[in-house]
Amino acid sequence: MLTKTFKRGIHPLHNMHEGKGPTRDLPVREYVSDSVVISMAMNIGAPAKPCVKKGDHVDIGQVIGEAQGFMSVPVHASVSGEVVSVDSIPSLGAGNVQAVTIKNDFADTWVELHPLGSVERVDPKAVIPAIQAAGITGMGGASFPTHVKLTFREGATCDTIVVNGAECETHLTADYRLMLEHSTRIVDGLRAVMRALNVKKGIIGIEDNKKEAIEAMAKAASGREGVSVQALKTKYPQGGEKQLIEAITGRQVPSGGLPIDAHVVVLNVGTCAAIADAIIDGKPLISRICTVTGCVRNPANLLLRIGTITEDIIGTCGGYSETPGKVVFGGMMTGICIPNDQMPIMKSTNGIVVLNERQSHSKDESPCIHCGRCVQACPIGLNPYQIKVAADKSDFAAAEKLHVMDCILCGSCAYQCPSRRWLTPSFKFCKDHITAEAKARAAAKKQPPSGAAARNASAPKDSDSMGKQSAGHAGSSEGGANK
């Protein structure tokens, strides 16, 4: 099979023993903890509103948080048992968020489920509402509500669904194991979406270092209408939405646009499997596969209930093998550091990587020597070193002119930089700043400055900061030493 790819990019850990090795051959094992803390946070849009109270008994799959508007999805109980508390916990974005703590009674009683039956016979109109009701958000990392992605604006057309099985992050094997162990479910989910959107072509893209997954998915796809598997070159960020679309379809998403502007929708393999579960079994999204690796005694691929506390997860992996320095939710290239191991996992947590003290230590920036490694790495074709000069001067206009808004924050430039410059963090800071400014301008234009307008203007800003990484760290070179 011909291997496709995108321009530039990097090969992290090309010659190193670390990475996927420790977990790639470990079958997924289920772990259920004594209690779960389920956050109401949404990636964008308002957080869900808790609809249970302390002392309530809940069953698995019961709605415990109501969706607030179109950009939001309901939140479901992931274990059966008693609601211990409903209070606020620190979110991974700025500020706090409401969360429901449930003590597991291990009775594993489910709410009444309403399966829709085979994906090939289900009413296409019922698919997207079922996806929203099941609380499905993108499971590849960004956590965007899937039903929003599948609802196009007027006039937009889609001819291809691309399924992301690239898993280009260096340490994660969750998607790989899912593709090996639940390949049919992924194809089922893809077919459900293809039928719902009346799309004839579904392509599953997988990096060519996962030969077994390519075989398994090809087998599952054979005989299914319009579904095919495409091998991709192993290169980071092959699993980036824009890079994947370029590699598979040869099209580019226009600057500032969405994949649908290239007539494509991209879904993660995990999202597809969750969609299949929602249609075939009527089950909401209450668990996910997560790779736990790095400085833990027994690295593993675990099937975890949403809301499982990190400390419990580390415990079932034999505990820390060294004093932890950083614990990262997600992969090494784009993952988010958690402040302590009491954080619960979310629907998007595809991995937990524990770094020791030495690996967590970030070196000081040294001067840019214009070696051009960032330029050679950038999958978008930007000049990161020039943007960094503008960013360091807080010259946001200049940064915007250098197309900082097209930056996908993949981290390739920062990975390559021999001067260890904080390229990606400062680009994130620029992007957040420019977005906030544009929003403020739009809000000011919309309404005359009055008390009511000021209140309205601040409301979307607050909800938008949910799920985002703290800009305070992003902008500061000293972020790494923050203890």
Partner 1 sequence: MSLRISTAPHMHNPLTTQRLMQYVFIALLPTAAVGVYAFGFPALAVLLISMATAVLCEFLWQKIAKQPVRINDFSALVTGLILGLNLPSTAPWWMAMIGSAFAILIVKQLFGGLGDNFLNPALAARAVLLASWPVHMTASAYVNPTYFQAGVDAVATATPLASKSASIVQLLLGQVPGTIGEVCKAAILAGFLFLVITGTISWRIPVIMTGSVFLFTLLIGGVTPEAALIATLSGGVLFGAVFMATDYVTSPITPWGQVIYACGAGLIIVLIRQFGSYPEGVTYGILLMNIATPLIDRFLPRKIYGYKKEAKKA
Q: For the CB of residue 142, give the shortest distance to partner 1 in the complex, in Å.
A: 13
Dihedral of the alpha carbons of 329, 264, 234, 136, in degrees to the nearest 10: 30
113 vs 369, which CB is nearer to partner 1?
Answer: 369
Choose, by CB under 8 A, the member of 64, 178, 264, 355 that binds partner 1.
Answer: 355
Specify the DSSP class assigned to residue 279. I
Q: Please tell me whether residue 387 binds partner 1 under the rule CB under 8 A.
A: no
Of the candidates 380, 387, 430, 466, which one interacts with partner 1 according to CB under 8 A? 380
Selected range binding partner 1 among 59-67, 177-185, 301-309, 410-418, rule: CB under 8 A: 410-418
User: Is 328 an interacting residue with respect to partner 1 (CB under 8 A)?
Assistant: yes
- Comparing CB distances to partner 1, the nearer of 201 and 420 is 420
Q: Does 316 bind partner 1 (CB under 8 A)?
A: no
Residue 26: CA atoms inside 13 Å, Cβ hemisphere, count? 22
Residue 95 is a binding residue for partner 1 (CB under 8 A):
no
Q: Please, which residue, 289 or 332, has the CB nearer to partner 1? A: 332
Distance CA 475, CA 267 (A): 31
Among positions 30, 381, 447, 454, the unique one binding partner 1 when judged by CB under 8 A: 381
Which residue from 252, 258, 322, 392 is in contact with partner 1, where contact means CB under 8 A? 252
Stretch that binds partner 1, among 78-86, 107-115, 154-162, 414-422 (CB under 8 A): 414-422
Site for partner 1, residues 424 to 453, rule: CB under 8 A: 424-425, 428
Name the one residue in this structure whose structure tokens are 């954080």.
Answer: 343
Q: Is 257 in the site for partner 1 (CB under 8 A)?
A: yes
3-state SS class at 317: coil
What tokens appear for 338 in the block? 């958690």
State the pairing for strand pair 287-294/300-305.
antiparallel
| Best CA proximity match to 253, nearest among 163, 9, 410, 244 | 244
By CB under 8 A, how many residues form the interface with partner 1? 74
Nearest CB to partner 1, comparing residues 224 and 468: 468
In the complex, the smallest distance separating the C-beta of residue 453 from partner 1, rounded to whole angstroms, is 33
Q: Is 480 an interacting residue with respect to partner 1 (CB under 8 A)?
A: yes
Distances (CA, A) of 155 to 10, 148, 184, 210, 278: 37, 16, 33, 38, 28
CA atoms within 13 A on the CB side of 480: 14
Q: Is 335 in the site for partner 1 (CB under 8 A)?
A: yes
Distances 11 to 57, 124, 169, 237 between C-alpha atoms, Å: 50, 41, 10, 9
Tell me: does residue 411 bind partner 1 (CB under 8 A): yes
Per the listing, tokens 């770094």 go with 355
Q: Which is nearer to partner 1, 61 or 324 (CB)?
A: 324
CA torsion, points 59, 141, 350, 60, in degrees to nearest 10?
A: 0
Site for partner 1 in 143-182 (CB under 8 A): 170
Indicate the Cα dihedral angle 90, 92, 93, 99, nearest 10°: -50
**CB under 8 A: which stretch of 48-56, 77-85, 182-190, 422-430 binds partner 1?**
422-430
Site for partner 1 in 225-244 (CB under 8 A): 242
Distance CA 261, CA 162 (A): 14
Among 88, 118, 366, 435, interactor with partner 1 by CB under 8 A: 366
Q: How far is the CB of 312 from partner 1 (least distance, A)?
A: 14
Assign residue 291 a region (left: φ > 0; alpha: ψ between -120 and 50; beta: otherwise). Answer: beta
Contacts 24+ apart (CB under 8 A), 195-200: 195/119, 195/120, 195/122, 195/124, 195/127, 196/124, 196/125, 196/127, 196/128, 196/150, 197/150, 197/158, 197/161, 197/265, 198/124, 199/158, 199/159, 199/160, 199/161, 199/226, 199/265, 200/159, 200/226
Residue 369 in the binding site for partner 1 (CB under 8 A) = yes
**Contact flag: residue 90 with partner 1 (CB under 8 A):** no
Closest contact distance (angstroms) between CB of 255 and partner 1 is 4
Contact region with partner 1 (CB under 8 A), list: 125-133, 201-209, 274-282, 334-342: 334-342
Among 105, 341, 392, 395, binds partner 1 (CB under 8 A): 341
Selected binder of partner 1 within 280, 379, 399, 443 (CB under 8 A): 379
The only residue of 415, 430, 431, 443 in contact with partner 1, by rule CB under 8 A: 415
371 binds partner 1 (CB under 8 A): yes
- SS3 category, 156: coil
Separation CA 214–CA 206 (nearest Å): 6
Residues 116 and 191: their CA atoms lie apart, in Å, by: 14
* Residue 127 or 408 having the CB closest to partner 1: 408
Q: Look-up: residue for tokens 């703590």? A: 101
| Contact residue for partner 1 among 2, 69, 250, 340 (CB under 8 A) | 340
Binding mask of the shown chain, residues 38 to 77, with x at each position contacting partner 1 by CB under 8 A: ----------------------------------------
Nearer Cβ to partner 1 (144/385): 385
Should residue 258 be labelled a site residue for partner 1 when binding is judged by CB under 8 A?
Answer: no
Residues in a beta bridge with 326: 355
